[in-house]
């Protein structure tokens, strides 16, 4: 049994009920009406206080005017659900209707006839959102404006860039381990970006000694600090810049306290954070006029991976890793090939070579060209010293006796595996030196020519297993065992060249018929050295042979000004000897007169070649006199050309 309390106003009744008969305190057949809205949290909520959803069917609404049948204090909100049979997709449309406002031309909510592919299910109801107005649906739109408690009416409109807030890079976090010092997008840009040009900044000749530079875009920092913020920026085209004559100017862009500008400098001293170069201009005097030579080379920092790859490609399609080394060629065992381990690069791709020694294991690829067919290949462990490849023939040929040949050795990439390839000799030579002097053959398999790497060569002699030389390209020059330095020869102390004199005097240089007081003179007709006396050489006559007497040979030189009618005496020439000299007379930097002459110890002088105003053995006005009279020793030079002259004399003679 349970006691139930019922209170109406101040009346309070307590009743006892059998719980098994009825579990509710009050149950009525008609609605209980309440005229006041709830206030306390335990007050009864009326239906009007909740906002009512009314189901709408085809029978209820055939056009927008019938929406008025579902009225509320503030309007009607209709959600229309459509199934498009053609695509099977669901579409939802939100419509509003304000019964207190003007009639609006809103779309039909329900197709009463039920024709076509559209079938609508609509749900309507009252709503308490202030100021919603009827607006037709627009594709790709957003709802904007205040909705609750604001005077403005929210509307549907197109989304624009201004609707998207600017979010600084410092607010975009990147993945980090623990609490990292640098962890956002701006830190990443600062660390991996660089100041420099992106577009523009082209230098051109504006004529008249001026250059023009176009506007541009790029990246720059406010301070010269690697961790400073990297910023996008644009710079304007400057006024034309004058390039001084015979000068060099370095053109670039600087931050300039937040007002970027193009400037010209006399030195290349950019800090590459707050400033960077665009190029260089040289003004040079060419053919008597100033010419501008423009070198556009901007500090280009965008598309960096592509640019780096292009630079690396320019160094070669296949490259050896110089820091690791290796890939050194040698010959082991009997005609076996060995190459040490190393690394090969192609672009930014790395290929490791484990090394090869065919005397232990592995093979190399051996290539030769068969005329009419093409390249032939076999896998071998030993190279041949008996065959060479005449590319005009269809078979390998025997190397001739005592001939020398080159076997060229390459590294190649087969898929991702480096391999060693040898090329049969394509010529034979009489000496090892002749073979060594030859460069790589032009006729190579295409894949080796295009993406192979020359490792070296093996110089062989016909039928001899041991190589004459094994050379590698990975030194300043080929490392060779072929002797190129005379000092490396053996047997240098052997006296087996009897046609030569010995420095110890045990075998002298002798000439048949040579007697005392004789010189040797080259005789062109007989193509031999003949013994001649001094007198014979001077007079051009033949006399009896004699021996050579050698004095001290002097190289005498004189340079000074000489007055008009001034003189200069030459050194005394030793008896029985002759001398040879030349003289140049100049004024104001221009040669006036010159001559090459010879003179003997008796003072007889003759001109070998000279200008018209040079004479010998006479004192004549308006002339340059080589000797003022016959038989002078020492010879007297006299200036009778009129006026002061600069004189330069050289003389080769035997000192008396």
**Structural domain count, the chain:** 6
What is the residue-wise DSSP string for 532-549?
E-HHHHHHT-----B---
Give the pLDDT confidence score for residue 71 in this predicted structure: 40
Same domain, 224 and 324: no
Residue 168 lies in a domain: no
Residue 313 lies in a domain: no
Q: Is the per-residue pLDDT at 108 higher than 80?
A: no
Q: Rounded distance, CA 173 to CA 599, Å?
A: 98
Q: In the beta sheet, which residues pair with residue 349? A: 346
Which DSSP category does 174 fall into?
A: -
Q: Is the per-residue pLDDT at 166 higher than 80?
A: no
Residue 13 lies in a domain: no
Same domain, 274 and 419: no
Residue 173 lies in a domain: no
Give the pLDDT confidence score for residue 162 in this predicted structure: 67
Residues 6 or more apart from 458 whose CB is under 8 A from it?
329, 331, 337, 383, 406, 407, 409, 467, 469, 470, 471
Q: Rounded distance, CA 363 to CA 354, Å?
A: 13
Give the pLDDT confidence score for residue 578 in this predicted structure: 87
Same domain, 290 and 392: no
Average pLDDT over residues 21-38: 74
Q: How confident is the model at residue 43 (pLDDT cuts 50, 70, 90)?
A: confident
Q: Is 42 exposed, middle or buried (0-12, 13-18, 19+ CB in 10 A)?
A: exposed
Domain closes at, from 128, 153, 174: 128
Q: Rounded distance, CA 254 to CA 262, Å?
A: 7
Average pLDDT over residues 199-210: 96
Residue 568 lies in a domain: yes
Give the pLDDT confidence score for residue 28 in this predicted structure: 75
Q: How confident is the model at residue 127 (pLDDT cuts 50, 70, 90)?
A: very low
Question: What digits encode the pLDDT tens for the residues 369-379?
Answer: 999 999 999 99
CA-wise closest residue to 342 among 358, 361, 322:
322
Q: Rounded distance, CA 78 to CA 61, Å?
A: 11
Instruction: Give CA 295 to chain center in angstroms.
Output: 16
CA-wise closest residue to 187 among 169, 206, 163:
169
Same domain, 278 and 393: no
Strand (E) or helix (H) holding 294: strand 289-296
Give the pLDDT confidence score for residue 602 in this predicted structure: 87
Buried b (16+ CB within 10 A) or exposed e, 51-74: eeeeebebebbeebeebeebebeb
Same domain, 534 and 590: no
Q: 185, 174 in Cβ contact below 8 A?
A: yes
Which DSSP category does 86 fall into?
A: T
* Integer angstrom CA distances of residue 517 from 503, 521, 629: 23, 13, 29
Q: Is the per-residue pLDDT at 3 higher than 90?
A: no
Give the pLDDT confidence score for residue 414 in this predicted structure: 79
485 phi and psi angles, rounded to 5 deg? -100, 125
Q: How confident is the model at residue 122 (pLDDT cuts 50, 70, 90)?
A: very low
Same domain, 37 and 140: no
Q: Rounded distance, CA 617 to CA 196, Å?
A: 79
- The rounded mean pLDDT for the chain is 78
Q: Is the per-residue pLDDT at 19 higher than 80?
A: no
Give the pLDDT confidence score for residue 49 in this predicted structure: 65
> 3-state DSSP call for residue 395?
coil
> 3-state DSSP call for residue 306?
helix
> 3-state DSSP call for residue 221?
coil
Count of C-beta atoms within a 10 Å radius of residue 373: 8
Average pLDDT over residues 337-354: 92
Q: Rounded distance, CA 388 to CA 400, Å?
A: 9
- Comparing 244 with 148, which gets the higher pLDDT? 244
Q: Rounded distance, CA 266 to CA 252, Å?
A: 11
Give the pLDDT confidence score for residue 451 in this predicted structure: 86
Same domain, 326 and 425: yes
Give the pLDDT confidence score for residue 273 in this predicted structure: 96
Residues 6 or more apart from 165 whose CB is under 8 A from it?
none
Give the pLDDT confidence score for residue 490 in this predicted structure: 55
Q: Rounded distance, CA 369 to CA 502, Å?
A: 54
Q: Rounded distance, CA 339 to CA 361, Å?
A: 12
Give the pLDDT confidence score for residue 541 in this predicted structure: 45
Give the pLDDT confidence score for residue 115 in this predicted structure: 41
Average pLDDT over residues 128-154: 39
Q: Rounded distance, CA 563 to CA 645, Å?
A: 6
Q: Rounded distance, CA 520 to CA 514, Å?
A: 8
- Comparing 434 with 111, which gets the higher pLDDT? 434
Q: State the first-to-last Cα distance of the chain, in angstroms, to the nearest integer.
A: 165
Which DSSP category does 433 fall into?
A: H
Q: Rounded distance, CA 168 to CA 311, Å?
A: 35
User: Which bin fits 438, alpha (ψ -120 to 50), beta or left (φ > 0)?
Assistant: beta
Same domain, 541 and 574: no
Give the pLDDT confidence score for residue 260 in this predicted structure: 97
> 3-state DSSP call for residue 312?
helix
Residue 1 lies in a domain: no
Q: In the beta sheet, which residues pair with residue 80? A: 93, 122
The answer to whether the peptide bond before residue 634 is cis (omega within 30 degrees of 0) is yes
Question: What digits encode the pLDDT tens for the residues 561-604?
Answer: 888 899 999 998 888 888 899 999 888 778 888 999 999 888 88
Domain closes at, from 302, 336, 352: 302
Same domain, 592 and 625: yes
Q: Which of 82-86, 92-96, 599-603 is the most confident on average?
A: 599-603
Average pLDDT over residues 442-458: 92
Instruction: Give CA 91 to chain center in angstroms.
Output: 57
Residue 11 lies in a domain: no
Give the pLDDT confidence score for residue 591 in this predicted structure: 85
Question: What digits encode the pLDDT tens for the residues 485-517?
Answer: 554 455 666 676 666 666 665 665 555 555 554
Average pLDDT over residues 246-264: 97
CA-wise closest residue to 120 among 129, 112, 110, 130:
110
Give the pLDDT confidence score for residue 90 in this predicted structure: 54
CA-wise closest residue to 356 among 331, 375, 393, 323:
331
Q: How confident is the model at residue 114 (pLDDT cuts 50, 70, 90)?
A: very low
Give the pLDDT confidence score for residue 60 in this predicted structure: 42
305 phi and psi angles, rounded to 5 deg? -65, -40
Give the pLDDT confidence score for residue 69 in this predicted structure: 47
Residues 6 or more apart from 453 whose CB is under 8 A from it?
316, 318, 319, 320, 327, 344, 410, 411, 412
Same domain, 297 and 342: no
Handedness of CA 15, 19, 23, 29 (dihedral sign): negative
> 3-state DSSP call for residue 373?
coil
- Comparing 585 with 519, which gets the higher pLDDT? 585
Domain closes at, from 302, 336, 363: 302
Average pLDDT over residues 64-85: 48
Q: What angle do CA 319, 321, 325 make, to 5 degrees?
A: 125
Instruction: Give CA 202 to chain center in angstroms.
Output: 19
Same domain, 450 and 335: yes
Q: How confident is the model at residue 423 (pLDDT cuts 50, 70, 90)?
A: very high
Same domain, 529 and 572: no
Domain range enclosing 139 = 135-161
Residues 6 or more apart from 326 whose CB is under 8 A from it?
320, 340, 341, 342, 343, 353, 355
Residue 2 lies in a domain: no
Q: 515, 616 in Cβ contact below 8 A?
A: no
């Amino acid at each position: 049994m349970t006691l139930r309390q019922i209170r109406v106003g101040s009346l309070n009744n307590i009743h006892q009920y059998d719980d098994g008969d009825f579990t509710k305190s009050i149950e009525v057949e008609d609605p209980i009406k309440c005229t006041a809205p709830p206030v306390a949290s335990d007050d009864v909520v009326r239906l009007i206080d909740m906002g009512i959803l009314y189901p709408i069917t085809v029978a209820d609404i055939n056009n927008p005017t019938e929406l008025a049948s579902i009225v509320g204090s503030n309007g009607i909100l209709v959600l229309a659900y459509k199934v498009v049979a053609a695509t099977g997709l669901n579409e939802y449309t939100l419509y509003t209707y304000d019964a207190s406002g003007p009639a609006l031309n809103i779309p039909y909510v329900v197709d009463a006839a039920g024709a076509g592919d559209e079938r609508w299910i609509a749900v309507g109801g009252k709503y308490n959102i202030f100021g919603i107005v009827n607006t037709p649906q627009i594709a790709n739109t957003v709802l904007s404006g205040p909705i609750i408690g604001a005077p403005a009416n929210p509307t549907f409109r197109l989304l624009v860039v201004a609707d998207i807030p600017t979010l600084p890079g410092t607010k975009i976090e990147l993945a980090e381990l623990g609490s990292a010092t640098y962890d956002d997008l701006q830190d990443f840009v600062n660390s991996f970006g660089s100041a420099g040009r992106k577009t523009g900044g082209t230098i051109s000749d504006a004529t008249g000694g001026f250059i023009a530079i176009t506007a541009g875009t790029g990246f720059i920092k406010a301070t010269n600090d690697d961790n400073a913020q990297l910023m996008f920026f644009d710079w304007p085209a400057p006024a034309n810049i004058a390039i001084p004559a015979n000068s060099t100017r370095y053109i670039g862009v600087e931050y300039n306290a937040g007002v970027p500008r193009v400037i010209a400098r006399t030195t290349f001293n950019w800090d590459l954070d707050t400033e960077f170069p665009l190029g260089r201009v040289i003004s040079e005097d060419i053919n008597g006029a100033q010419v501008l030579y423009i070198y556009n080379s901007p500090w280009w920092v965008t598309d960096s991976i592509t640019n780096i790859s292009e630079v690396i490609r320019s160094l070669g399609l296949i490259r050896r890793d110089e820091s690791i080394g290796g890939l050194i060629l040698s010959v082991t065992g009997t005609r076996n090939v060995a190459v040490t381990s190393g690394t090969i690069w192609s672009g930014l791709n790395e290929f490791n070579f484990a090394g090869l020694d065919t005397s232990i294991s592995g093979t190399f690829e051996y290539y030769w060209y068969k005329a009419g067919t093409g390249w032939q290949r076999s896998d071998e462990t030993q190279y041949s010293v008996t065959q060479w490849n005449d590319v005009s023939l269809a078979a390998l040929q025997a190397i001739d006796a005592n001939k020398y040949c080159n076997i060229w050795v390459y590294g190649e990439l087969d898929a991702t595996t480096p391999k060693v390839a040898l090329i049969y000799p394509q010529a034979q030579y009489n000496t090892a030196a002749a073979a060594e002097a030859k460069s790589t053959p032009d006729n190579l398999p295409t894949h080796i020519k295009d993406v192979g790497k020359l490792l070296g060569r093996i110089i062989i002699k016909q039928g001899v297993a041991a190589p004459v030389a094994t050379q590698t390209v990975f030194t300043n020059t080929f490392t060779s065992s072929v002797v190129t330095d005379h000092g490396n020869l053996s047997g240098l102390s052997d006296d087996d060249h009897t046609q030569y004199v010995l420095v110890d005097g045990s075998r002298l240089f002798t000439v048949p018929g040579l007697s005392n007081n004789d010189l040797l003179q080259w005789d062109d007709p007989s193509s031999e050295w003949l013994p001649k006396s001094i007198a014979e050489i001077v007079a051009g006559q033949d006399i009896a042979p004699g021996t050579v007497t050698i004095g001290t040979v002097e190289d005498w030189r004189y340079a000074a000004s000489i007055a008009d009618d001034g003189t200069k005496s030459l050194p005394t020439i030793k008896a029985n000897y002759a001398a040879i000299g030349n003289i140049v007379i100049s004024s104001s930097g221009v040669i006036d007169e010159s001559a090459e002459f010879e003179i003997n110890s008796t003072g007889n002088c003759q001109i070998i070649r000279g200008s018209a105003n040079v004479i010998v053995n006479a004192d004549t006005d308006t002339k340059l006199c080589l000797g003022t009279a016959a038989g002078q020793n020492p010879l007297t030079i006299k200036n009778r050309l009129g006026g002061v002259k600069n004189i330069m004399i050289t003389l080769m003679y035997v000192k008396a």
